[in-house]
Structure 1
Amino acid sequence: MISKYFLGASVLIANLLLFTSCLNSSDNNMEYPTDPQIYAISIASKTDTTNLLPGVVFTIDQVNGKLYNREPLPYGFHVDSAMLKLTGSTSLAFSMIELTLDPDSTYAWNASDSIAIPRLRKIKTTAPDGVTSKNYDFQLNIYQEDPYILIWEKIAGNYLGSSVESQTTIIYNNRFYTYYRSGEEIKADSTAISDTPKWGKVDLSGIPHTLRLSSFITSGNLIYALDAATGAVYQSPDGSDWSAVQTEYEVKALYGELPFADPGNILLAVTHDEKVKFARTNNGFSNIVLMNDLPDNMPITDFSAMKVESRTSYASKFIFLSGGNTSDNAFSNNIWILQEDGDVIKYISSKRPEEVNLKGSSLFFYDDKPYLIARSSDGKNILMYSDNYGVDWIKAEENQSLPADFTARTNTSVITDADNNIWIFGGISSSNTQLVDIWKGRLNKFALN
């Protein structure tokens, strides 16, 4: 069906009359703009009770003639009609605008009537010269599936060749390294990151069998860990060869790389004048700068640590800690939020639901949010996240729950990769046995994109 609004034709006739009158005026050189391009687009609807449409950011692809929103609207969003605003190069930007709607309906639009926006497919604009025109394909993207479903799959079971008493997994140089205690030895296996990982033995040298597995961190081009027996720091440039590092102070904890700092800048806890203090180091521990005292109830061993570097808020740069034991070997059932401010580490203790036990909990940063795997009062694992960078924690809904056949555990290693996958490695079951399996999860939104 082809229909034309009388007003569209009237605009064209008025422009022609104006053009003629201008020819008869004293300015015989007047020319109408020939640019038909759309430079801005916005939509709004009275039925948009959530007020999402005004915030939609449209991409205008002038080369290929496409108008679309890169970030889809939420799953289930729907409005029947909307007001459309098109902005051109001048205040009198278009002599005519034609819209094509499904199914096969084209009409001249008066730039003020509402539009059946779900049916809009094409926009044709004509410049004030009445001749030059441009065609655009229009697409209002809406998630057709729930983007916040976490899809889980078991990748492997019993992937380590030896008996395992405890383990930890890190990501380093685009590879996974699992270090594990087997009898009186520490062993390691490694694989490239893959949906079908192929694990191989790592030949270790220089590594003490007393290395604390929960202390492993990566920073710059090195892996670091603490010796539980001597308190010495050990480092490795390749995951295989290890050596002790000379330090000015006794290092009690490696909290991890400071966010938005140069590689190698690590937050520590050290002993100085019989006090445990925060400190920072760089250049391979050649220089340690003392900072303020640690609070008595902050953990220094067996905690989970997470670096937070927000993509949307530069001020949101933290290190989170959960669980672990203090210098007095007391259990810390808190979530700590640490932030560097000059030569001082500021800290607060985060709120958490009372039924959550943080012993053996695991923190990870995903989809620009802090996440936490912990145990609930019934012994099952609970997945939580925070929308306000750790001030409050929310129990994940059913669409993000862990799979039914996921064995409840503590002390698991959780890693996120560059492809927005969550990897869960091993852990200790409720019967105190070491699990040696791998799970992978991913938000549906990353597959849809």
Structure 2
Amino acid sequence: MISKYFLWTSVLIMNLLLLSSCLGSSNDGDLEYSPDAQIYSFSMASKADTLNLLRTTEFSIDQVNSRIFNKKPLPYQFHVDSVVLNIRGANNLSTFSYVTIQLIPDSSFAWVQSDSIEVSRLHKIITTAPDGITKKTYEIQLYIYQQDPYIMSWEKVAEDYLPTTVNQQKTVEFNNRFITYYIANGAVNATSSSASDGNNWTTASVTGLPPAIQLSSLTVSENYIFAIDDDNRLFRTSDGFTWTQVVTEFPIVTIYGVIPSATDDILVMVNDSSTSKLAITEDFTSLQLVEMNSGTPADLPVKNFSAVQIESTTSYTIKYLAIAGGSKADDTDSNDIWILQEKGGEIYALKSKKSESVSVDGSSIFFYDEKPYILVASGGKNSLLYSDNYGLDWKPAEENQSLPATFNYRKNASVITDNNNIWIFGGVSQAQTQIRDVWKGRLNKFDLN
């Protein structure tokens, strides 16, 4: 009886000893702490920032170059004295061992969440991973516009780059080159320049275009440039210089341009048995007649208008073709800006709202900095209108976007834009002579890039 009791007691003691041994083997030395010292989330805020500009500013974290910065600069003259930082690691459960803030010129301190930091002196953040060993140093850069970002600066890039005998001209961008087509002495010629230059031009021979070509009809698609002549014949080129005639199902009255849509077709007006109709086409091998949802094709200009695609990077539904000025089929002037959109096989046409006193005769419409602009001529000088709702309403640009005093009055200029610049080529002077210069404009906001 005693031996049985002793046996059970021994078993119980052994189990307790084993359990104690297992529990005791888990000590701090066996836990693995993360060596990840990277910052994964960063933001800042300030009580003085009543507009919450800092709180909504997105910061980029460049892990390779150890930089934290805001891609979009804060507004001109933005100022706060101090900020509170929000710094996060890989996850909230595995925080940094500690974080050191380094200030300009040469001081540093251990950071805690509630610290108020003098933002003008903030230089670097040094993080130590949960393992207490691994460190990473980030340089902090807070970009603020140092001058009004919406001032537009202008410079004359080229002068007298065309012969003096020119009597018609138009410039397009194609295959990363500017090509200025011009008619001189009854022949079509061209000169071209790199689309990043605009100063150095090379004369090129043009073949296949008749003297009766309407240079104002030049339209660039993805693979071709198209143009029509006075007899409504169509011509195209794939290299910009060698042109061939294209036989079409209907005579082409005018080419409006590529209308943004799922298929990016070209919108044209055709002559269908002496009736003007709209049509869309990919490359003119076939033409699909389309109806206007409101109005008639007779309301639209057919010559000497300017056109531009309007597409929003933030809204899929904003895809328009805007056309301004020109003359109608009955030879009356059009003083309207039209917004054209293709939906469900129909063309929706809407007139923009602008002051009736504003003339768009000889104007040039273009798209820049996510907004449509239009270069107009009135009272012996040029000025800019713009729209902040994608062309529905128009208003004069501010004084900080005025053209320089040395910019000669002109109509029918060619205007081309890239990501940062506005290029203005030639035009017709008040004395009805051809202007032969090139200007480049740029918003200050793009100087940061």
Normalising by the smaller structure, the TM-score range is: 0.7 to 0.9
Q: Give 1:218 deviation, angstroms.
A: 1.3
Contact 2:167 2:183 in 1 (8 A): yes
Matched AA of 2:354: R
Cα separation, partners in 2 of 1:192 and 1:139, compared to 1, 3 Å: closer
Contact 1:152 1:403 in 2 (8 A): yes
Q: Give 1:194 deviation, angstroms.
A: 5.1
TM-score between the two structures when normalised by the length of structure 2? 0.87
Contact 1:379 1:430 in 2 (8 A): yes
Matched AA of 1:170: V
Cα separation, partners in 2 of 1:354 and 1:119, compared to 1, 3 Å: farther
Equivalent in the alignment of 2:162? 160
**Deviations, residues 332-368 of structure 1 (Å, cap 9, x unaligned):** 1111111221311222111123432100000111222
Q: How many residues align?
A: 422
**Deviations, residues 207-234 of structure 1 (Å, cap 9, x unaligned):** 1111111101111222111112x11111
Equivalent in the alignment of 2:323? 321
Please point out which of 201, 204, 225 is paired with 1:202: 204
C-alpha separation in 2, matches of 1:328 and 1:196: 38
Q: Which runs of 5+ in 1 are unaligned?
A: 1-22
Q: Give 1:60 deviation, angstroms.
A: 1.1
C-alpha separation in 2, matches of 1:197 and 1:262: 35
C-alpha separation in 1, matches of 2:241 and 2:130: 70
Q: Give 1:280 deviation, angstroms.
A: 1.1
Cα separation, partners in 2 of 1:160 and 1:395, compared to 1, 3 Å: same
Contact 1:95 1:130 in 2 (8 A): yes
Deviates most, 39-48 or 24-33: 24-33
Matched AA of 1:240: F
Deviates most, 143-152 or 420-429: 143-152
C-alpha separation in 1, matches of 2:255 and 2:274: 18
C-alpha separation in 1, matches of 2:345 and 2:416: 30
Contact 1:156 1:437 in 2 (8 A): yes
**Deviations, residues 387-445 of structure 1 (Å, cap 9, x unaligned):** 22112223222222111111111111111246x33221111122322212221222223
Contact 1:212 1:227 in 2 (8 A): yes
Q: Which runs of 5+ in 2 are unaligned?
A: 1-21
Identity over aligned residues, as a percent?
50
Cα separation, partners in 2 of 1:276 and 1:83, compared to 1, 3 Å: farther
Matched AA of 1:154: K
SS in 2 for 1:296: helix
Equivalent in the alignment of 1:122? 124
Contact 1:177 1:189 in 2 (8 A): yes
Matches within 5 A, 1:63-102: 63-92=64-93, 93-102=95-104
C-alpha separation in 2, matches of 1:367 and 1:437: 24
Q: Give 1:273 deviation, angstroms.
A: 5.6
Equivalent in the alignment of 1:185? 187
Q: Give 1:314 deviation, angstroms.
A: 3.1
C-alpha separation in 1, matches of 2:301 and 2:24: 85
C-alpha separation in 2, matches of 1:69 and 1:86: 15
Equivalent in the alignment of 1:448? 448
Equivalent in the alignment of 1:439? 439
Contact 1:97 1:111 in 2 (8 A): no
The question of 1:246 aligning with 2:222 is answered: no
Matches within 5 A, 1:21-100: 27-28=26-27, 29-92=30-93, 93-100=95-102
C-alpha separation in 2, matches of 1:383 and 1:317: 22
C-alpha separation in 1, matches of 2:314 and 2:120: 30
Equivalent in the alignment of 2:287? 288
SS in 1 for 2:362: strand
**Deviations, residues 88-137 of structure 1 (Å, cap 9, x unaligned):** 22324123222112232211122123222222111122333444332211
C-alpha separation in 2, matches of 1:388 and 1:113: 42
Structure 1 outlier segments of 4+, above 6 Å: 23-26
Cα separation, partners in 2 of 1:355 and 1:105, compared to 1, 3 Å: farther
Matched AA of 2:229: D
Matched AA of 2:445: K
C-alpha separation in 1, matches of 2:204 and 2:65: 51
